[in-house]
Structure 1
Amino acid sequence: DPNCFNLQGDSALLQAARRGHSGVVEMLCQAKAALDTEDMQGKMPLTVAAQCNHLEVLRLLLGARANSNLKDHEGMTPLQWATQHCHLQAMQLLLDGGADKDLANDRRETPLCVAASCGHAAAVRLLVAASASFDLTDEEGHTPLHTAAVNNQPEAARALLEANASPDSPTQNGASPLYFAARRGSLEVAKALVEFGAAKDQTTRMGITPLFVAAYFGRFHVAQFLVQ
């Protein structure tokens, strides 16, 4: 039976995919094993192959028409797992195989948001080349550029800015990426934002500027930069 399971509920295909056994995966696919069986975390064969960067397994599963947009129990897609680990070749295989470049997880984080949060500039560039949206927001109302600022990820921020992400895009409360860089004390992110035209005096709906929030949280170096 190609769909046999162990006591933990894992199928033979899922175990082979997790371990990168491409020959076994190919044999099971030819035997019409179910491609969407889940482990206890809701991860499917394609998910674990993406997470573990097993490229040949990915090719085989995608060739067998595995659905690249199914989510696990964390709401994560195979593309999001590959992005989180900056597995660039796996990301490209998934995109070429039909993965939705903008499909969000349960926290409304798109793959581009995940790349920005982790500071993976190369992953940002790959997703931008695939026309991923700069404007979709997570459950906090943050764009990928806000996320890079919040997490002090200057290389990811610069990659987004170089791809023409808006340096002044506000949240619903009017907070700009520079506001979050100032609050976090992310000096290099603040420098990149200003270099690409961010307004130093943009206020939130409460009238708070980046300089004010830097002063309030004691971010000396950011405050010093903003008054120059």
Structure 2
Amino acid sequence: DKDNFGMNAVLLASWFGHLRILQILVNIGAKLTCKNKNGLNLLHCAAQRGHIKVMEYITEDLEDVQLDQPDKMGRTPLHLAASHGKLEVVEFLIGSGCTHGLKDKEKNTALHLSARNGHAEVLQKIIETAVELNEKNQEGQIALHLAAEEGHYDCVKLLLEGGSDVNMQTDKSMNALHYAAQHGHEKVAQLLIEAEINTDAVNHHHTTPMHLAVLHN
């Protein structure tokens, strides 16, 4: 039986990190290929919630486990762990050989998601895998744009130090300084200026970062 979210006993055991219950269910022949309404399987549930022991059991003791299986949003366990800041899970998945640069249905990589949500330690780990830092999502945004938009100073700093293109512009010709200025993130803006970002770049409205800073106080 499943609840309103399409979660059955096996998925719930994985979601809440109840390893012993999961093992019992497996031993009595429970179906392990089940998914909830969002397309999350056993590994997705454990990854999103950060249950490393459950993940180790799933990947090492069960058969036919795919590390890069996407959910309905196109997100793999790595996407979910990165988005939710689960560093130990990210390290485990990378060490187990998952694919680092896959994109979800919005063309976001794990790098994008960790940068947007401000998970600096996770971001650092992903950068260390030598992923492409200037990969664009469906809006033409790179991870640097998302970190700047949300005001995540440490993430912006890591991306710049890693070699992210400070002057990369989105499909609407926004650079990272446009985002920082628009949302009032002064420390991030200063960091970008120190990295010699083009302060005179114009977006699709022919607006510079300075104009946006004035408009948004």
TM-score by length of 1: 0.83
CA contact (8 A) 2:183 2:216 kept: no
User: What amino acid sits opposite 2:184 in the alignment?
Assistant: G
Q: Name the residue aligned to 2:165.
A: 166
CA contact (8 A) 2:67 2:98 kept: yes
Matched, 1:138 2:137: yes
Structure 2 CA distance for aligned equivalents of residues 218 and 204 of structure 1: 16
1:98-149 deviation line (CA, Å, top 9, x unaligned):
3222222222221111111111111110110112221222221111001111
CA drift of 1:153 comes to 1.7
1:174-213 matches, within 5 Å, as: 174-204=173-203, 207-213=206-212
Greater shift in the superposed pair: 14-23 or 204-213: 204-213
Structure 1 CA distance for aligned equivalents of residues 151 and 2 of structure 2: 43
1:80-103 deviation line (CA, Å, top 9, x unaligned):
221122110011111222322222
CA drift of 1:12 comes to 4.1
Indicate how the Cα distance of structure 1 residues 206 and 7 shifts in structure 2: closer, same or farther if over 3 A, else same: closer
Q: Name the residue aligned to 2:12.
A: 15
CA drift of 1:27 comes to 5.2
SS of the equivalent of 2:165 reads coil
Give the total of aligned pairs. Answer: 213
Gaps of 5+ in 2: none
Identity of aligned residues (%): 26
SS of the equivalent of 2:10 reads helix
Gaps of 5+ in 1: 1-5, 220-228
CA contact (8 A) 2:144 2:156 kept: yes
Structure 1 CA distance for aligned equivalents of residues 174 and 72 of structure 2: 32
Structure 1 CA distance for aligned equivalents of residues 155 and 2 of structure 2: 42
CA contact (8 A) 1:104 1:110 kept: yes
Equivalent residue in structure 1 for 2:44, among 39, 44, 47: 47
TM-score by length of 2: 0.87
CA contact (8 A) 1:175 1:203 kept: yes
1:174-201 deviation line (CA, Å, top 9, x unaligned):
3211122112221111111112221222
Which has the higher Rg, Structure 1 or Structure 2? 1
Taking only aligned residues, the RMSD between alpha carbons, in angstroms, comes to 2.2
CA contact (8 A) 1:50 1:79 kept: yes
| Misfit runs of 4+, over 6 Å | none
